[in-house]
Structure 1
Amino acid sequence: MAEDGRELADAQRRHWQATYDDHPGMYGLDPSAPAVYAARLFRSADAEEVLELGAGHGRDALYFAREGFTVRATDFSPSGLEQLRDTARAQGIGARVTTTVHDVREPLPLPDSSVDAAFAHMLLCMALSTEEIRAVVGEVRRVLRPGGTFVYTVRHTGDAHHGAGVAHGDDIWEHGGFAVHFFSRALVDGLAEGWRLDEVKAFEEGALPRRLWRVTQTRPRPAAGRVGAPHHRMN
């Protein structure tokens, strides 16, 4: 990553840490709509262990745990994860939640094919370069078991804030102190290479409203007789 991009990412890390410190539980305890969708999907696939990237203070990770999943929650904010653990204990689900301070610019500290499902709500559209986003999705594919599903959400180029505020290049725009990488459909399709792209669903969230895509893609199982060979189908 270019030095100016690294500086932006580090500044955003500090900004988010301060935000969680100043506004504990800022998103409330109700799960996001994408998490509710993902829980139904994961349950239908008999998933037991869910990895959440960018869990923050944990409203979605806590929901997955209350729904009976074992949850591995990661975030680069120690404050957010501390709030998550405290709430999990208070709700009696602490045994089903583990947390790891982790920067998604680094490899995931998990073995290959070790989780059943993965979820990331607006994590990929933070201040990450396109190259870094591709690396994150590659890491998710590595740690998912064959047949495992990844559900992620991102703000896209049809959002009102796209093109507004401070331009950082690579379709990253900073507005109100928060930098966002706005996704094109071409980027979504590119990230699905080597996966089965199941759905790209447009939805809105918040008062602006923010315009997002909810993307569902599955790591293919090896084709019969071709162990390790990828199978790709676009829906």
Structure 2
Amino acid sequence: MSADLNQKYGLNPAHSEVVSACQLVKPGLALDMGCSTGRNALYLAQQGFTVTAVDINPSAIQQLQSVVDQEGLDTLTPRLYDIAEAGLDTDYDFIACTVTLMFIDAAKVEAVLADMQQHTCVGGYNLIVCAMDTLDYPCPMNFPFTFGEGQLSAAYKGWDLVKYNEDVGTMHNGARLRFATMLARKAA
């Protein structure tokens, strides 16, 4: 397997928070929610995870499947799935959901978070990075959903917040906005 599949296939590098989480999270069953063309899923597979990568976009899933086929990756399964359905059917050690929640219907986010939590193994992790809209830093983009201050951490009461911040960051398109960033571990 190539040292960096993302580079080989012209994809953006894995999200910095996914790379950072891999310093702590031991390889196991992983879910990449809203995988697009697979930048995080490919990285996780290269780190030793068995990855299910889901997205609502059929052409993104086809593109990722093509990479999987060309590389003979038996530890990465791309699947067409609408995360807004909140209907996961497997338990995972690590669920990554980076810059994805802000693209789904706000009315569905609570169910999606509950579904992620329910399908995380005890001792497993959820990684979430999502846009925020706050009085002091209004979101410059019109996403269907954004977190308010403290909303993400409140949704994970009872979990160990390994990392949590609500800092201003830059999207891949250069837009500056505030993000809720969390790596949380499911307590026993």
TM-score (norm 1): 0.67
Q: Distance in 1 between matches of 2:43 and 2:89?
A: 22
Conserved? CA contact 2:84–2:104, under 8 Å: no
Aligned pairs for 1:51-70 within 5 A? 51-70=31-50
Question: CA offsets per residue over residues 85-137 of structure 1, 9 Å max, x none?
Answer: 11223334x211112211122133414xx2111101111122321x4211111
Q: 1:197 aligns with which of 141, 148, 161?
A: 161
Alignment-derived partner of residue 9 in structure 1: none
Alignment-derived partner of residue 211 in structure 1: 178
SS at 1:118's partner residue? strand
Q: Deviation of residue 203 (structure 1)?
A: 5.2
Unaligned runs of 5+ in 1: 1-24, 165-172, 222-235
Amino acid in the other structure paired with 2:131: R
TM-score (norm 2): 0.82
Q: Deviation of residue 64 (structure 1)?
A: 0.5
Q: Distance in 1 between matches of 2:146 and 2:121?
A: 29
- The runs of 4+ residues in structure 1 deviating greater than 3 Å are 158-161
Query: How many percent identity over aligned positions?
Result: 21
Conserved? CA contact 2:12–2:39, under 8 Å: yes
Question: CA offsets per residue over residues 196-227 of structure 1, 9 Å max, x none?
Answer: 22321335233223432321112111xxxxxx
Q: Deviation of residue 61 (structure 1)?
A: 0.4
* Count of residue correspondences: 176
Unaligned runs of 5+ in 2: 1-8
- When Rg is computed on C-alpha atoms for both structures, the one with the higher figure is 1
Conserved? CA contact 2:88–2:119, under 8 Å: no
